[in-house]
Homo-oligomer: A and B are copies of this chain.
């Protein structure tokens, strides 16, 4: 691509492959996955090691994304006023509902989880901070679609991909759902993004009243819904209360 720096694109591609692998990766795999000569891959990897973005195991020679990369991402994330302010209310929401809590913001064509509170029990859980959820097939995403025109433009550009048999992939049906979201103040996703998973989310507004994020809970459908898969209003109430509290922290509702 003209005007872009190819070696930086290649280095980023290496990081993306490393991040997507469950285990440390050999150099030859990276080279072949990206169509690079081994010498080229080696030069890029040594540079990434020097700057702390990649670690290489001394014994096996395998490569992985280094914790050093976190030093870039985490402080930048914490500069985000939203996340700083959401943290306490997210903890409270998790305690109150006994569910996992996510906070997400629009990023490209998806909603990226910027904060994740584990459900307060000892079952194994997977951190999803940094993960991008589809806008049309997640509660967090529907909140953004309902209130943020940029989200709507992004969804129209990328289309409505099916994720489960319950995903809404019909624009009129989705529009009707979004009208309901604006009406009741929260969104639901019942096995639309992932089988066996339901979520409820509500909008977080900034000082000017714009929706800048969504906060929500996630769990098994029978933890959030009644026997006919209808979301429990009690859970939705906890979510909207938390969303309002975070919005107040961001200055929403204060006189100028």
Contacts and interface: CB of A to CB of B under 8 A. Distances in A.
B5 A130 contact: no
Contacts of A107: 52, 66-68
A162 B12 CA distance: 37
Contact of A8 (B48, B80, B127, B131): B48
A32 interface: no
Contacts of A3: 43, 46
A67 B131 contact: no
Interface string A57-93: 0000000111111111111111110011001100100
A52 B108 contact: yes
Interface in A123-137: 124-127, 129-132
A126 B78 contact: yes
A15 interface: yes
B77 A67 contact: yes
How many monomers of this chain does the complex have?
2
Interface stretch (A16-24, A164-172, A175-183, A196-204): A16-24
B71 A70 contact: no
A76 B1 CA distance: 28
Contact of A75 (B44, B50, B77, B130): B130
A234 interface: no
Given A67-B107, A70-B73, A70-B112, 20 more contacts: A5-B7, A7-B7, A7-B8, A8-B11, A8-B48, A9-B50, A22-B79, A64-B79, A67-B112, A69-B72, A69-B73, A70-B77, A72-B73, A73-B130, A75-B127, A78-B126, A83-B127, A84-B126, A87-B127, A91-B120
30 contacts: A1-B50, A3-B43, A5-B7, A5-B47, A7-B7, A7-B8, A8-B8, A8-B44, A8-B47, A8-B48, A16-B72, A19-B72, A19-B76, A67-B107, A67-B130, A68-B112, A69-B72, A70-B73, A70-B76, A70-B77, A70-B129, A71-B130, A71-B132, A75-B127, A75-B130, A78-B127, A84-B124, A84-B127, A87-B127, A91-B118
